[in-house]
Each structure stands twice: as structure tokens, then as C-alpha cells.
Homo-oligomer: A and B are copies of this chain.
Amino acid sequence: MSADTDTDADAREQLIDLAEEFYEQFEGGDVPTMRIPTRTKSNIEYDEDKNVWVYGDRESTRTAKTISGAEKLLKATYTIDFLARQLDQDRSSTLRELYYLSESWDVDEAQFSSQDESNNLIEDLEIVSEVKREDFHMRPEESGAKVMGPLLLREQTNRGDREIHCQDDVGQGGYQIPNNPDTIEFLDNDAEFVLCVETGGMRDRLVENGFDDEHDALVVHLGGQPARATRRLTKRLHDELDLPVTVFTDGDPWSYRIFGSVSYGSIKSAHLSEYLATPEAQFIGVQPEDIVEYDLPTDPLSDSDVNALESELEDPRFQSDYWTEQIELQLDIGKKSEQQSLASYGLDFVTDTYLPERLDEMGVL
């Protein structure tokens, strides 16, 4: 799975440095501590230079002064040891495997008592070491997302390199994004833009209607809240191939969060925004404005929809005139629409009318 042995060696070193710090604190007669940025909504702020949301200045401290603090640092050292060996051997594992693996560790206090605990520790290590989980060789559980469009790539698999064209060499299902998309090299493309699509049904509609072919679009299926691998690939398509990125979702507050995680990153992984977020991504819709303008079939907003919209009005990631206007309009009309509701005008309306109109308005087509 290793894309780059230099990256592996760097990651290993960063981890060992962390452990060394504990060692030096002990040696100097100090109680070991680890400082971590506070991970709450009130502690994320906009980085003007990098154009993404990152953690603010607030930090919390793990210290071995308390039993529970000491146990946390013990678990951290055992995990660092496991990760360093994993990198040495060029293996990889999942968060879930790490949780179970800890049962084989010789000190009971180092074992994780829940999956949340091991997940959080890995996130802490990512933040403190400034090394991405993928570079520790911690694979995400699965992505399931896929790409269809005029793109030739080379993927480094653990059985050798594979050259794949994401239209000519794949079935109707498209090219399956691997867990670590940094194993991919882009060789050639005829693409004009990237179109990220929330639902499988809409992705299949676009592929059946040949939208990727007709408009030279790279159709990336998000599959609901996008996995890290999908967000990373999208960012690389933007940065390396200089392609505009557009996001097409349902018209409800949960889908706006999907757009938000593609474009601004998420609160849980603000430390990875630079790696995962595509701040230049543009929202196609379904916009509340579209619900009105195209007179789409709707469902009424539920109480939890209304709460989610109100919380988005407060969310720093949605502080723009555009989003304020759209969200207030939606609260006003009290309705939401799915992307597939466009089918109420026929199966080709989305590819013949809606998307070309929207992409033209947005200056993409």
C-alpha cells in the first residue's frame, strides 16, 4: 500500500519524535504531557492564506498527573510503537483492527476500552504529529465511491501498477477509488470539470445519459457523506489538473453539509483541511431557489431539518451572503427536494436542462 517510502520514513520519524518527547519529559523530571487543539465548532477559524477552516488557538492538555491522563499517554505510546512497526513492515490496518489488536498488548491498561477511544487517539496523533492517518498506513474502513470520465490514471497497488482509463477500461460501475488515493498518478485527461454527485441513483442517471462523455465531466460519486479518500481525490483533481469542482446534492440541510465537507472540511478533521478540502468547490444544487424556480416536488421540512438549517446559519463555514440567502429562503418556504425529484420533468431533464443551465450560470460550461 505504500505510495512513497520517503513519506513512510517521515511519518515514522514524526511518531518516534512524539514518544521521545515523553521520554525527555520523564528524564528531565517533568510529568509527561501532550497538548492538543480543542476540537469544537467555536475553535475553528478561517485561514485567509490557505482558504480553509482550521483549528483556532485553544488547546487542551493531556497530563500523566491523573491516572486517566497517564493511561491515555500509555495508550499513545503503545499505539506509536504499533504504527512504527507497521510502517517498517510496509503493512496497513484499519481503525477497527487497531482497537482489536490492542487486546494482544501485554499491559492491560494500554488496551482500548472502546472503539471511540482508539479512533480519538489516532486523530490526536494526526493533529500532534502533523502526519495524516493515511501516512501511518491506517486505512479508512471503506469508501465505495467511484469515478467515471475522461481520465487516464496509474494506480500503484500492492500487486504492481495498473493503468486505467475511467471510461474505456471500466464497466458501467466506473473506477473504484482506492482507500489511499495518493497511490494514484494522473497520466492524461480530456476533462473540463469535476461533478461530485451525492446519490448513486443520480450518478447512474448521469452515466446512462452519457453526461460525462458529452460534457467532458469527471463524475465522482460521493455516496452520501464523502469518505476521506473521495475528498482527497477531488482536491487532487482540482489542484493538479486545474479543474473546476462542482457539487450536486439533494436540497436539504444534511446535503449542504456534504457540500461543506468537500469544500471547507469538517470540524472533526479541521487539521486535515489543507489535505482534504477544496475551498474553490461550487454548489450546483438542488438550491432552495431551484425548488421555487423549477417548481420541484417537495417534502415538508421536519423539526430536525429546521434545527439543522438554523445551526448552519450559525456555522462559520456557511457565513456567506449566498448561503444565508438560500437557507433563509428554505426556512421560509418550509420545503426540501431531492436531486431525483428533477425526474418529475422526465428522465433527461437533469442532463438536458437543469445541469447545463446551472453550470452555465456558474460559469463552468
Give residues in A with beta carbon < 8 Å to B.
Answer: 1, 91-94, 96-97, 100-101, 103-104, 139, 141-144, 146, 155, 157-159, 162, 164, 167-179, 183-184, 199-201, 203-205, 208, 210, 213, 221, 223, 297, 338, 340-347
Contact of A170 among B164, B167, B208 (CB under 8 A): B164
Assembled-state Cα–Cα distance A172/B208 (Å)? 25
- How many copies are assembled? 2
Knowing that A96-B201, A162-B171 touch, tell me 4 more A-B residue pairs with CB under 8 angstroms. Answer: A141-B199, A159-B213, A162-B169, A173-B177
Assembled-state Cα–Cα distance A215/B147 (Å)? 30
Assembled-state Cα–Cα distance A210/B97 (Å)? 17
The answer on a CB contact under 8 Å between A101 and B200 is: no
A143: chain B residues at CB < 8 Å are 173, 200
A164: chain B residues at CB < 8 Å are 169-171
The answer on a CB contact under 8 Å between A97 and B171 is: no
Given A176-B173, A203-B142, the answer on whether A210 and B100 have CB atoms closer than 8 Å is: no
Given A100-B343, A167-B159, A176-B173, the answer on whether A223 and B144 have CB atoms closer than 8 Å is: yes
Given A144-B200, A144-B223, A158-B172, the answer on whether A344 and B101 have CB atoms closer than 8 Å is: yes
A141: chain B residues at CB < 8 Å are 199-201
Contact of A157 among B159, B171, B175, B223 (CB under 8 A): B171
Given A94-B204, A164-B171, A173-B176, the answer on whether A344 and B100 have CB atoms closer than 8 Å is: yes
A101: chain B residues at CB < 8 Å are 343-344, 346-347
Assembled-state Cα–Cα distance A83/B171 (Å)? 25
Assembled-state Cα–Cα distance A341/B164 (Å)? 35
The answer on a CB contact under 8 Å between B142 and A172 is: no
Nearest-neighbour CB distance to chain B for A151, whole angstroms, equals 13
